[in-house]
Amino acid sequence: MLCHFLSELNERKELKACASGCDAIQMRHLRLLIDHLENEYASVSQRLGSMLQHGQITYGLLWALFKPGSHVFATCFGTKEPRCVIFDAGEEITQNDETWFNLECRFIDYDGVKFGEAGIFLRVAKFRGSKPIESLEAFPLRHHQSHEQVRKDLVGRGHKFLEFAGSHIRHCKGSAFFMSKGKVVKVKIDSRVTVDTAFFHDMQPNYSRPSLRDLGVKEKDGIQVFDIDAMFMEDREREKERMRGDGVDARKLSEADLLVACPTVCCFSFKEKIFLECAVSALRDIDWLPGSFDCLQIPSDTKTMLLSLAKTRLGLIPTVPFDDVIDGKGQGLNVLLNGPPGVGKTFTVEATSEYFKRPLYSISAGELVVDHGDSHAVESQFEIIFKIAKHFNAILLLDEADAFMASRNELHDSHNRLVTVFF
Q: According to the model, what pLDDT value does residue 24 have?
A: 73
Q: Is residue 52 part of a domain?
A: no
CA atoms lying within 13 Å on the CB side of residue 133: 22
Are 395 and 360 contacting, i.e. CB atoms less than 8 angstroms apart? yes
Q: Is residue 54 part of a domain?
A: no
Picking from 284, 307, 338, the residue at the C-terminal end of a domain is: 284
What is the spatial distance between Cα 190 and Cα 294, in angstroms, rounded to a whole number? 25
Q: Domain check: are 175 and 312 in the same one?
A: no
Q: Is residue 46 part of a domain?
A: no
Q: According to the model, what pLDDT value does residue 189 have?
A: 94
Q: Domain check: are 235 and 316 in the same one?
A: no
Q: Is 328 left (phi over 0), alpha (psi -120 to 50) or beta?
A: left
Helix axes 345-356, 300-313, angle to 10 degrees: 50
- 156 Cβ neighbours under 8 A, 6+ residues apart: none
Q: Domain check: are 149 and 164 in the same one?
A: yes
What is the spatial distance between Cα 264 and Cα 120, in angstroms, rounded to a whole number? 14
Closest-CA residue to 294 (of 336, 361, 346, 347):
347
Q: Domain check: are 416 and 294 in the same one?
A: yes
Give the chain's radius of gyration (CA, Å).
Answer: 29
Q: Is residue 18 part of a domain?
A: yes
Picking from 258, 284, 310, the residue at the C-terminal end of a domain is: 284
Picking from 257, 284, 311, the residue at the C-terminal end of a domain is: 284
Q: According to the model, what pLDDT value does residue 225 have?
A: 46
165-208: pLDDT as tens digits: 999 999 999 999 998 877 889 999 999 999 999 999 999 998 88
Q: Domain check: are 409 and 389 in the same one?
A: yes
Domain of residue 316, residue span: 290-422
Q: According to the model, what pLDDT value does residue 245 have?
A: 62
Q: Domain check: are 126 and 10 in the same one?
A: no
Q: Domain check: are 297 and 407 in the same one?
A: yes
Length of the chain equals 423
Q: Is residue 45 part of a domain?
A: no
Q: Domain check: are 172 and 241 in the same one?
A: yes
Closest-CA residue to 213 (of 248, 184, 186):
184
Q: Domain check: are 258 and 203 in the same one?
A: yes
pTM: 0.81
Q: What is the number of structural domains in the chain?
A: 3
Q: Domain check: are 310 and 416 in the same one?
A: yes
Please give the average pLDDT of every successive group of 10 residues along the chain, which has 423 residues.
Answer: 68 66 72 74 83 93 92 94 95 90 94 91 94 96 95 97 95 93 89 96 87 48 49 57 70 92 96 95 95 88 88 76 64 80 88 93 76 65 90 89 62 56 54
Q: Is 235 left (phi over 0), alpha (psi -120 to 50) or beta?
A: alpha
Q: According to the model, what pLDDT value does residue 228 have?
A: 47
Q: Domain check: are 275 and 297 in the same one?
A: no
Q: According to the model, what pLDDT value does residue 122 have?
A: 94
Are 171 and 192 contacting, i.e. CB atoms less than 8 angstroms apart? yes
Q: Domain check: are 246 and 186 in the same one?
A: yes
Q: According to the model, what pLDDT value does residue 236 have?
A: 59
Q: Is residue 35 part of a domain?
A: yes
Q: Is residue 27 part of a domain?
A: yes
What is the spatial distance between Cα 292 and Cα 352, in angstroms, rounded to a whole number? 8
